[in-house]
Structure 1
Amino acid sequence: MDASAAPPLTQPRKADPGISFDNTYARLPARFYARLPPTPVAEPTLIALNEGLCRSLGIDPEAVDETTWAAILAGNRLPAGAEPLAQAYAGHQFGVFVPSLGDGRAILLGEVVGTDGVRRDLQLKGSGRTPFSRMGDGRAPLGPVLREFLVSEAMAALGIPTTRSLAAVASGEAVYRDRVLPGGVLTRVASSHLRVGTFQYFAARNDIEAVRLLADYAIARHDPDLADMPAPERYRAFLERVALRQADLVAAWLMVGFVHGVMNTDNCAISGETIDFGPCAFLDAYEPGAVFSSIDHGGRYAYANQPRIAAWNLARLADCLLPLLAEPQEEAIAIAEDALAAFGERFRTAYRAGIVRKIGIARPREGDAELAADLLARMAENGADFTLTFRRLAEAVGDPAADGAIRPLFADPAAFDSWAERWRARLVEEGPAEEVAARMKRTNPAVIPRNHLVEGAIAAAVERGDLGPFACLHAALIDPYADRTPDDRYTLPPAPHERVTVTFCGT
């Protein structure tokens, strides 16, 4: 069931779905986690089960009925082979180091190897208190559960590395925040939940043995081709690989106007996947300094700051790995700096390639990046919508008359006109207009998780119990590059009264 009109399953097939767990993290030493089961909820109801993702994980979504799935995915019933645990980690939160964080409201059920041969974690979020909960209740409001389901699946459809959402369940219980809210549980799928903060947890305790064990585990899981390298070299190569993945990831975020909102080191995944969709948002009008998160008072995680913050986070990973790189420390620092230099070069290359692709250039030459940067500057000065401007450019490649759909996006349409003349002159060398347009449509989505649409779908579900907007938005988001009619509400910017300028953390 994909949060749509699929009929409910009425006949139980089995008592257990037969998930093939193979739990390697649970074999690490006990100080890496706390073993405990999820805390059952009152009355779980299945809202969405991602059938396609189930099948890619080798799980039959029809193996058990809806009631059984709800019980399993809420944490009320453990499937055979699960070894539930909460992972330990630390982290810099808005630049302030917190030595003990950990899964305060999440339980890792275990790992499965998908049909593609890739190992992935199955984790329940909102599954109750753990030893890492501190003062929290370990629960999640339904709204943030639905937000992560929508946005993570949209990111996957956009082709951006991300954790995925297997299911959303309503808990049937109230969650107390600034007001009383319905509760929910999300089943998150990730290549792993290893974070920069996981390394920081052990480094802060001067537990070098654990740092080494964790690094070797991460290498075996994400970079197995490095496993046979001699010790110092493989850790340097591992640091560089993580840096390259983060560079590609952040460049991809910028191409779709994504603002993560909480790029703490505990939300920086070693796998290079987007993780944690709490106060995230997407640009409407292009604004490099855009900040949405209600807790980012200083703009630390603004849209244009994200590359710099990613580099800062990677430097914190390097701090943890110094004892594995060399002795004395001065030599280790030099090695780490050399490895981290790969981030800047890779990000610049990925960003330049991505931004010129967005304006239809497949064979870049000198001056193309500046042409794209000039468009962005004009968009920022004129409040032009980020997603819609690039998508409509595809319609206008060979037809200046189509500029009529782009010009009104600019406060001063003449700012677009003078740029468009140079752009079309450049595209003459890129091949037939129809081929360029098709290429641009594969690069520039028509639909993104616009903030007002996401918030509207959440409000309908939480306040009125209406899942229709959630299902319809989900259906649009998982096919983001398809052509849609010009007046399709999923493609249009918000009206002034619909604008969402502040987003909130899901905790």
Structure 2
Amino acid sequence: MKTLSQWVFNNTFLTLPEGFGTPVSPQPLTQPFLISVNPQVCRTLDLDPKSAKHPDFINIFTGNDQLAGFAPFAMKYTGHQFGQYNPDLGDGRGLLMGEVINNAGEKWDIHLKGSGITPYSRMGDGRAVLRSCIREYLASAAMHGLGIATTHALAVLSSDTPVYREDVERGSTLVRVTESHLRFGHFEYLFYTGQHDKIATLADYLITHHFPDLAKLDSQNRYQAMFKLIVTRTAHMIADWQAVGFAHGVMNTDNMSVLGLTLDYGPFGFLDDYEPGYICNHSDYTGRYAFNRQPSIALWNLSALGYALSSLIDKQQIETVLDTYEPTLQAAYNINMQRKLGLDAPSVTDAQLYEELFALLASQHVDYTLFFRTLSHIAQPDIPQSASQFRTLFSQLPPLEHWLKHYAQRLTLQTSSDEQRRNIMLNNNPKYILRNYLAQQAIEKAEHGDVSMINDLLIALSTPFDEQPHFESLAAMPPAWGKKIIISCSS
């Protein structure tokens, strides 16, 4: 384990030509203090977690001191927000501080959220508040625990600096960590500003540092293969979102990672009751980013990226690659659903089985996570008569009884043992998810100086498929008020 001063840096993004952003120093927060640090992310960076409690760590990541090797830089990009192109985007409250090389030779971006005004702040103050930092901190840990591709968060820090939103809140920073912060919007910026030579430069940078196997291909095939990888990774990410019941809330192209990582957690939400049209973002008035629209929106975003790459890839090649998205997504999603139901091989009847189940869950407003977790524990011989075990989830049991008999019949086609089925289900149906009401309770406690719930959630969410009896309350049915929390982009 290392201290901060022992980190090894290689700031490759700064080797790109001018025009990719602006060097900016973070603006200090007053009387800063640590809220929480994630030990798992510390291990990724070879950082001793104890160093996070040192004043140097707190001061460096709140803009009150500098670390040798850091070169703070606000990245410039654009993107489509709710379907409309916005040329004025960029790191408006974030800074790429540097790239740390760990002992395994991996390059990790260190990025601050809430570090103050940059040239891309668009009349904003460049600050983040405690609630948004806590939500992203816990969400990234939750997604990582679920095995879903995501950015990470090392730590949350807060301060006495007042930040003015609907109310006066504490200015805070989130220390974000990921392989790259490159977005669809980086390529859109270069395309719409006519910097087509730099599109190839950025694409070559992406390939060199993140898709090195493609470097040996000639230029005619290299960029098409790069785009294919982005499409494939995005399809797998969306399939994982849909299977676990995660709604991102703001799938603008500037919030889409070229590495297929879940990026920029804002007004996200995990499903409580199964609601296909669930809108987690209070500001999404038209439901553009509703849960059931995420697969099609991701394709829309990929099409926008393809258009931005049209100086490198011809139109027919772009269309050919985009045509692979839906079958890739469907195949990945089918595998996820097979695992959630413990099916050891696909069957032609599975689509009907899924459709009947989702219609049933939607019609009775059944808790998505609790249904699958409960089903995971039931032995195969007991399934046809197990409806009573779901009585707290369903208002009417006869429709469930009908589906359970259909499911039990489907299981007769299995070649694996029932113990294997249940193990697969228990390892693919989490007991713990970051429900909005849990995040809200953790936030409210932290605002009063109690960070214990943040740390409890961090532990529980790191192994969400384990029983963890001491955290049983975090897996309970949400109260009625907890299903109706309004989350917006305001942060």
Alignment-derived partner of residue 428 in structure 2: 443
CA distance in 1, matches of 2:481, 2:371: 21
Contact 2:27 2:116 in 1 (8 A): yes
Alignment-derived partner of residue 334 in structure 1: 316
CA distance in 1, matches of 2:361, 2:52: 51
CA distance in 1, matches of 2:53, 2:121: 32
Alignment-derived partner of residue 132 in structure 1: 120
CA distance in 2, matches of 1:236, 1:455: 43
Alignment-derived partner of residue 371 in structure 2: 389
Alignment-derived partner of residue 32 in structure 1: 20
Contact 2:51 2:57 in 1 (8 A): no
Tell me, yes or no, if structure 1 residue 498 matches structure 2 residue 486: no
CA distance in 1, matches of 2:444, 2:347: 47
CA distance in 2, matches of 1:217, 1:27: 10
Q: Write out per-residue CA displacement over residues 94-131 of structure 1, whole angstroms, 9 at most, x where no aligned residue.
A: 01110121000001111123344332210010011111
CA distance in 1, matches of 2:10, 2:338: 43
Alignment-derived partner of residue 414 in structure 1: 398
Alignment-derived partner of residue 209 in structure 1: 197
CA distance in 2, matches of 1:71, 1:126: 14
Shift of 1:220: 1.4
Match of 2:70 among 82, 90, 97: 82
Alignment-derived partner of residue 365 in structure 1: 347
Structure 2: give runs of 5+ residues left out of the alignment. Answer: none
Match of 2:243 among 245, 255, 258: 255
Q: Residues 32-181 of structure 1: matches in 2 within 5 Å?
A: 32-63=20-51, 66-181=54-169
Contact 1:446 1:484 in 2 (8 A): no
Q: Percent identity?
A: 39
Alignment-derived partner of residue 327 in structure 2: 345
SS in structure 2 opposite 1:416? helix
Shift of 1:57: 1.6
Contact 1:141 1:506 in 2 (8 A): no
- Matched to 1:394, the amino acid is S
- Matched to 1:405, the amino acid is Q
SS in structure 2 opposite 1:419? helix
Structure 1 stretches of 4+ with a deviation exceeding 4 A read: 484-487
Q: Residues 229-378 of structure 1: matches in 2 within 5 Å?
A: 229-325=217-313, 332-378=314-360
Tell me, yes or no, if structure 1 residue 481 matches structure 2 residue 465: yes
CA distance in 2, matches of 1:65, 1:377: 50
Structure 1's 488 and 33: CA in aligned 2 closer, same or farther, altered over 3 A? same
- Matched to 1:406, the amino acid is F
CA distance in 1, matches of 2:104, 2:150: 16
SS in structure 1 opposite 2:99? strand
Alignment-derived partner of residue 413 in structure 2: 429
Shift of 1:499: 2.0
- Matched to 1:179, the amino acid is D
Structure 1's 225 and 165: CA in aligned 2 closer, same or farther, altered over 3 A? same
CA distance in 2, matches of 1:496, 1:210: 52
Contact 2:7 2:101 in 1 (8 A): no
Give TM-score, length-normalised by structure 1: 0.93
Alignment-derived partner of residue 6 in structure 1: none
Give TM-score, length-normalised by structure 2: 0.96
Contact 1:121 1:191 in 2 (8 A): yes
SS in structure 2 opposite 1:409? coil
CA distance in 2, matches of 1:166, 1:487: 23
Q: Which moved more, 1:240-249 or 1:217-226?
A: 217-226
Shift of 1:21: 1.1
SS in structure 1 opposite 2:474? coil
Q: Which moved more, 1:312-321 or 1:364-373?
A: 364-373
CA distance in 2, matches of 1:397, 1:151: 32
Shift of 1:501: 4.3
CA distance in 1, matches of 2:367, 2:118: 43
Shift of 1:64: 7.1
Structure 1's 337 and 504: CA in aligned 2 closer, same or farther, altered over 3 A? same
Shift of 1:498: 2.6
CA distance in 2, matches of 1:253, 1:26: 33
Structure 1: give runs of 5+ residues left out of the alignment. Answer: 1-12, 326-331
Shift of 1:486: 11
Structure 1's 45 and 356: CA in aligned 2 closer, same or farther, altered over 3 A? same
Shift of 1:63: 5.0
- Matched to 1:411, the amino acid is S
Contact 1:258 1:280 in 2 (8 A): yes
Alignment-derived partner of residue 467 in structure 1: 451
CA distance in 2, matches of 1:505, 1:373: 33
SS in structure 2 opposite 1:228? coil
Q: Report how many residues are paired.
A: 487
SS in structure 1 opposite 2:61? helix
Contact 1:358 1:440 in 2 (8 A): yes
Shift of 1:264: 0.1
Q: Write out per-residue CA displacement over residues 301-339 of structure 1, whole angstroms, 9 at most, x where no aligned residue.
A: 0001000000000011111111112xxxxxx21110001
Shift of 1:429: 3.4
Q: Which moved more, 1:258-267 or 1:287-296?
A: 287-296
Q: Write out per-residue CA displacement over residues 325-355 of structure 1, whole angstroms, 9 at most, x where no aligned residue.
A: 2xxxxxx211100011111110010111111
Alignment-derived partner of residue 8 in structure 1: none
Shift of 1:30: 1.9
Contact 1:259 1:302 in 2 (8 A): yes
Q: Write out per-residue CA displacement over residues 416-467 of structure 1, whole angstroms, 9 at most, x where no aligned residue.
A: 11111121122233332222111100000000001111111112212x2221
CA distance in 1, matches of 2:259, 2:52: 31
- Matched to 2:346, the amino acid is P
Shift of 1:497: 2.6
Shift of 1:171: 2.3
Shift of 1:232: 2.2
User: C-alpha root-mean-square deviation of aligned residues, in Å?
Assistant: 1.7
Alignment-derived partner of residue 195 in structure 1: 183
- Matched to 1:376, the amino acid is F
Tell me, yes or no, if structure 1 residue 18 matches structure 2 residue 36: no
SS in structure 1 opposite 2:162? strand
Contact 1:73 1:167 in 2 (8 A): no
Shift of 1:471: 1.9
CA distance in 2, matches of 1:366, 1:64: 53
CA distance in 2, matches of 1:455, 1:278: 13
